[in-house]
Amino acid sequence: MENIFLGIIQGITEFLPISSSGHLILFNSLFEGSNVDISTLTLLHLGTLGSILFHYSDEVMQIVLKPKNEKDTLIKIFIGIVPAVLLGAFTNLSEIITNSLNIVFYTGVAYIALSVLLYISKNLIEGEKGISSLTYLDALSIGLAQSIALIPGVSRAGVTLIAALLIGMNKKDALLFSFLLGIPTIGGAWVFSLVSYGIDYSLLTILSTLLAFIFGILAIRILIRFTLDSNLYKFSFYTFALGLIAIIVS
């Protein structure tokens, strides 16, 4: 049952601005005796990656089938993932934090900081920039924001969306660019985990991955609706509460 629960949680938290890694750490802390298998999490990431590919299949196929026409977008995606790749490869930041004895406390602080960012988004005015209008510096700025999500308690979806809105993107393209950045980011994390830990192909794990895929699609649609309706800030109340719980537990 634990794997089933993890599949649902992974699907929901990967795309809503509430940090999947933060939830995993709190889950391990609050439920003593839980034993989250890394190989299981590896396959769950494949499920959430499938959620993006399914929901944005038209946009992804356009890039795959006509890469020359989408060269500018591909370059911006590449620039956007560079900060996270470099930070992850040369600092081992996520491992250092995750292995810390104070990991729950740090996660709580990160959640509080995230809640502030999410609440501030309430006052952001939608810009007019589309992906084609982004400069390479803009793409790098969003990528730098994404790299912060290596810290448990910081949501990749949340910080990239807020960064995109801050530089003047329209909401629809901000969402699309955030998810396009998520494809190589989540895919890269999956490949790294696959090489490092392997995959558990048990029937239960496959079912959990399917649930991660289904709930991932649901989470993507919820995030899109909340963002377009200027309600992204409402997630701040939840992340603030999680932050307080984590700090108290620590």
Per-residue pLDDT tens for 115-144?
999 999 999 989 999 999 999 999 999 999
Give the number of C-alpha atoms closer than 13 A to the C-alpha of residue 120, restricted to the C-beta side: 13
- pLDDT band for 221, please (50, 70, 90 cuts): very high
C-alpha span between 181 and 208 (Å, rounded): 24
Whether the CB-CB separation of 145 and 182 falls below 8 Å is answered with no
Report the pLDDT averaged over residues 10-25: 91
The average confidence (pLDDT) of the chain is 89
pLDDT of residue 92: 63
Q: Which is more confident, 43 or 79?
A: 79
Per-residue pLDDT tens for 183-194?
998 888 788 777
Whole-prediction pTM: 0.91
C-alpha span between 19 and 36 (Å, rounded): 17
pLDDT of residue 38: 59
Per-residue pLDDT tens for 44-98?
888 999 999 999 999 999 999 999 999 999 999 999 999 998 887 776 655 655 5
pLDDT of residue 166: 95
Q: Does residue 108 have a pLDDT over 70?
A: yes
